Structure 1
Amino acid sequence: METSRSQRWRERRALWTDDETVIDPRAYSVDLIAHDVASTFISAHHYLPNYPAAQVAVGLFGPRGTLAGVAVFARPAVDAVITAHTGFTDPAKGTVLARLLLLDGVPQNGESFFVARAFDVLRRERPAVEAVVSYSDPQAGHIGRVYAALSGAHRGVTKPRIVLRLNGTTVSGRTLSKIRTGERGAAGGVDQLVRLGAPRPRPHETPAAWLARLQRERVLLRHRQDGLYAYCFELTRNARREGRDLPRLPYPKVLPRPHPMLPIFSGAPAEIDKGIAA
């Protein structure tokens, strides 16, 4: 679906803003928030309830000081996400906008207001970060209008890939990796899959065997994820210099599949879909 209206979320249901209103900057504020606050908000409202490998969480506060939106900047699943789209060889100089969520009470154009100020908070908290990568999913009608409004560089389209889904929700590859290897966060990953409808591991069943069983029993289903539109926000003069040889393409229109004339990047996207008609 293509629309000029901004998508919002409340209690994990998609809603749409009224085209007649725009945000009053005097009525909203933006600041750093704790990860537990951001995680609770996302779990309650976003259709992807799991919390990413966050670095910085930023909140949008409404007229009564209540939390009305969250942006989470996170480490990507692989370093190539940063190096492919920013031009930096040091992945620590970039981050991923892994979650962006505004409630339905936030007026039209709230995303651009919020994200611009969230970048300021990110730079204040992590001055080493000079670029932000984000994606839009054309299959969901998300093509990057918000990113165009903020002059993000459209890099092209990521390669299609196979993901695993549980009851219609894509499970992060990073979550699956944590479960298989038993690293920190594995228990939370198991809990996430159980909340989505998976049975708990059997006594003495290894995590890898459990995931394999979920696939055999078609609890976890393979799904072909078409390419996502990739964007990069170059926040410093140095970032613009590093990215000068990378594509800066015209902003796309909705396509059922990535256009064959757009560059295809090997940098695997993090499992992120902001849930906005960007």
Structure 2
Amino acid sequence: MTTWPKSPGTRGGSVMPVQEPLPFENLPEMPTTSPWCQRWRERKHSWRHVRDGGFDARRYHVDVIPDEQPGKAFVLAHHYSRSYPAVKVQFGLYDTVDGERRLTGVAVFGVPVNTAVLTKPLPELRPFTESMECSRFVLLDECPGNAESWFLARCFDRLLADGVRGVVSFADPVPRRTASGLLVMPGHVGTIYAATNAVYTGRATARTVKVLPDGTVFHDRTAQKIRRQEQGHEYATAQLIALGAPRPRPGCNRARWLSEALAAVGARNVRHRGAHRWVFRLGRSRREREDVRLGVPSLKPYPKLPDLEHTAA
């Protein structure tokens, strides 16, 4: 039986912070660029080598997915994160062989939690209209090598026509494992960013992420919804209950419940040195692209090897 403590103590009239007794671990990182293209099906990854080729643009078509649900269902079914972000526009990669339109890839361009994700690297562009984040990009394992660069280029053509001049994307090189050690996300290799002329601008802010037993990340924004009982807190609470956390008592301190629930399900704190940030400057010519001013330095060479201090022994 779990004994739930009373509300947290106070000091000087203010509520003392709730401590989360979760174990910490460091995970090895994957190379950011390589000749391998990552593919997904039912949240299981596979690889296609760029030299394999085989992509035939005549059998594929890219179009906006006007209804959120098909794209959301595709991402939830196949992307390792099992989550779907706030979306501004989503595009589908359709295989049109035999006259049928079958969804084989989804690119989601949306709204990051923090506006600074866009305004820091692209300070002169209006966020959410002239700049967006590419928050999900997933292709099925049946898509041949080089499909993603063609798909992404068609997405950028459509975005540029609608006035978008900059796109920010992140490559997360830290793998995710379940509590039993099963690898569920080997790390984004980022080949597509370097291959499609993205500007490498270094790492995002280092942080500590909470990884659940199934290998998914329990995001800080999700935790905030529970603590403050904001919209969406019911889904976040149910996610932890499904993993074995006890149901919160009516009227209980939700910050305290969250701390105890994360410990009860076996969540882990993982030290993350920050995802690699890439910026696409969109334009019809090289001059137009270079006219998009960056607020962060362009860095070279591109990262290609894991950090030695994070390499598994």
TM value normalised by structure 1: 0.81
Q: Which residue of 2 aligns with 1:254?
A: 304
> Residue 31 of structure 1 is aligned with which of 52, 63, 77?
63
| 1:77 CA displacement | 1.6
> Residue 135 of structure 1 is aligned with which of 164, 170, 181?
170
Mapped to 1, the partners of 2:302 and 2:145 lie a distance apart of: 21
Whichever residue aligns with residue 149 of structure 1, its letter is A
User: What secondary structure, in the 3-state scheme, does the structure 2 residue paired with 1:6 have?
Assistant: strand
| 1:178 CA displacement | 2.5
Pick closer, same or farther for the CA change 1:139–1:163 going to 2, 3 Å. Answer: closer
User: What secondary structure, in the 3-state scheme, does the structure 2 residue paired with 1:108 have?
Assistant: coil
Please state if 1:77 is matched with 2:108: no
| 1:224 CA displacement | 0.6
Identity between Structure 1 and Structure 2 (%): 35
Whichever residue aligns with residue 24 of structure 1, its letter is D
Q: Which residue of 2 aligns with 1:47?
A: 80
Whichever residue aligns with residue 26 of structure 1, its letter is R
Mapped to 2, the partners of 1:161 and 1:45 lie a distance apart of: 26
Q: How well do the aligned residues superpose, as a CA RMSD in angstroms? A: 2.6
Structure 1 residues 237-262: Cα deviation after superposition (integer angstroms, max 9, x where no partner): 77743425642223523332399xxx
> Residue 111 of structure 1 is aligned with which of 148, 158, 161?
148
TM value normalised by structure 2: 0.73
User: What secondary structure, in the 3-state scheme, does the structure 1 residue paired with 2:174 have?
Assistant: helix
Unaligned runs of 5+ in 2: 1-29, 176-186
Please state if 1:60 is matched with 2:96: no
User: What secondary structure, in the 3-state scheme, does the structure 2 residue paired with 1:147 have?
Assistant: helix
Mapped to 1, the partners of 2:234 and 2:91 lie a distance apart of: 26
Would you say the 8 A contact 2:125–2:165 is kept in 1? no
Aligned length in residues: 256
Structure 1 residues 122-179: Cα deviation after superposition (integer angstroms, max 9, x where no partner): 345xx35321100112334534320112111111122321111111211222222223
Please state if 1:97 is matched with 2:144: no
Pick closer, same or farther for the CA change 1:181–1:229 going to 2, 3 Å. Answer: same
| 1:201 CA displacement | 3.0
Q: Which residue of 2 aligns with 1:264?
A: none
Pick closer, same or farther for the CA change 1:151–1:25 going to 2, 3 Å. Answer: same
Please state if 1:157 is matched with 2:203: yes
Rg (Cα) greater in structure: 2
Pick closer, same or farther for the CA change 1:189–1:73 going to 2, 3 Å. Answer: farther
Structure 1 residues 85-141: Cα deviation after superposition (integer angstroms, max 9, x where no partner): 1133643332111111000110001111111112233345xx353211001123345
Whichever residue aligns with residue 28 of structure 1, its letter is Y
| 1:60 CA displacement | 0.5
Please state if 1:86 is matched with 2:125: no
| 1:40 CA displacement | 0.8
